[in-house]
Amino acid sequence: MSAVLVVCEIRDGKLKKTSREALSIGRKLAGQSGGELQAVAFGPDASSAAEEAGKLGATKLYAVSHESLKAYSTEAITSALAQTIAEANPAIVLLGGSSDGRDLAPRIAARLNAGVASDVTSLEWADGKLRARRPVYSGRAFATVEVHSSPAFATCRPNAFPAEESGGGASQVVEIAWEPVEIKARLIESRTPQTGELMISEADIIVSGGRGLKEADNFSIIRDLANALGGAVGASRATVDAGWIDHQHQVGQTGRVVGPNLYIAAGISGAIQHLAGMSSSKHIIAINKDPEAAIFRVADLGVVGDLFTILPALTEEVKKAKA
């Protein structure tokens, strides 16, 4: 009855991690609501998601395969999704907390006069309603909200829901015939940065550096450890403002909010605005020479010491352990 529809994004021929996470919690919700788990994907390779979506529990994949949906456009995808929702009639629509997911959710919800629980860290179906928990005030409080609309929308915070396969077969593909609409905001160019670095919003492991690094060149110490661990490089705002590293790496209230499995903070004092961006990480290690540093209050393992000697030693140990 109460179906759950998950909006899926495909990148390099695979489902994005945020979509895999949304499908996984979607499967649990479908279990609670007694409805089916459905997926929807857009663009010429939309139906290629059937295999992966099926493994994650989606029985049906709506494919809006129109050529013009190759790149994301708010106006086009909103229209295509509205048409899919009209056909699929879900009680819940979930989106991953990606840039596009967060662009799309409020737009489609307003079109359908529906509510969105944004950036949620837990979800359940209770008393015929979607109930969500979400951090507010930059993690200084948690709100439990209920969405009183059908469908009810939610965007899932990256890394909050583990992606778990259920071992199902490929989803049944249902093609949606959609007519393009007028586009007023057009994508002219997409620029990927020079570096092939892993982005902090998607990483399982983040190694972050702060002003304790003293100068820009010393970010190499952070980079070496991140590379050895297969993680991403994060940064405090002080280092971004100093021009040591690009803003894309900033963790915190005015940077990115991250929740990786492992967060290592070196030479970061732990200002409230920094904690807002990382305190929901599952495991936190802090290295700081000041025993009173606020970062130790959220650290699972705190090491009082000099990052310039400890980190290089750690990088060597990690390399040895991996060899």
Partner 1 sequence: MNSVVCISQVPDTEARIKIAASGRQIDEAGIKFIVSPYDEYALEAAIRLREAKGGEVTVLSFGPDRVAQALRECLARGATKAVHVKGDLTELDSLAIAKVLAAAIREVPHDVILFGKLGVGTDNSLVGPMVAELLGYPQVNVVTHLEPGDGKVTVHREIEGAEEVIESSLPVILTAQKGLNEPRYASLKGIMAAKKIPIDTKSPADLGLSDGDLEAKVKVTTLELPPEKQGGRKIEGTDPAAAAAEILRYIKEEAKAL
Ligand X SMILES: Cc1cc2nc3c(=O)[nH]c(=O)nc-3n(C[C@H](O)[C@H](O)[C@H](O)COP(=O)(O)OP(=O)(O)OC[C@H]3O[C@@H](n4cnc5c(N)ncnc54)[C@H](O)[C@@H]3O)c2cc1C
Scanning residues 127 to 156, which ones bind partner 1 (CB under 8 A)? 131, 134-149
Which range touches ligand X (CB under 6 A), out of 97-105, 179-187, 224-232, 233-241? 233-241
Which range touches ligand X (CB under 6 A), out of 49-57, 128-136, 186-194, 234-242? 234-242
Measured from the CB atom, the residue of 170 and 262 that comes closer to partner 1 is 262
Closest CA to 220 of 230, 238, 206, 233: 233
7, 23, 122, 123, 172 from 32: Cα distances, Å:
19, 14, 14, 11, 22
Angle, helices 74-88 vs 99-111, to 10°: value is 60
- Phi and psi angles of residue 266, each rounded to the nearest 5 degrees, phi first: -120, 125
Which range touches partner 1 (CB under 8 A), out of 22-30, 50-58, 84-92, 303-311? 303-311
Is 299 a residue that touches partner 1 (CB under 8 A)?
A: yes
Q: Quick one: which of 45, 146, 215, 290 contacts ligand X (CB under 6 A)?
A: 290
Measured from the CB atom, the residue of 118 and 250 that comes closer to ligand X is 250
Is 250 a residue that touches ligand X (CB under 6 A)?
A: yes
Scanning residues 73 to 132, which ones bind partner 1 (CB under 8 A)? 74-75, 78, 98-100, 102-103, 105-111, 113-119, 131
54, 118, 275 from 96: Cα distances, Å:
17, 10, 23
3-state DSSP call for residue 289?
A: coil
Measured from the CB atom, the residue of 108 and 268 that comes closer to ligand X is 268
4, 227, 241, 315 from 220: Cα distances, Å:
45, 10, 18, 11
The footprint of ligand X (CB under 6 A) covers: 210-212, 236-239, 250-255, 267-269, 271, 273-274, 277, 287-290, 293, 306-308
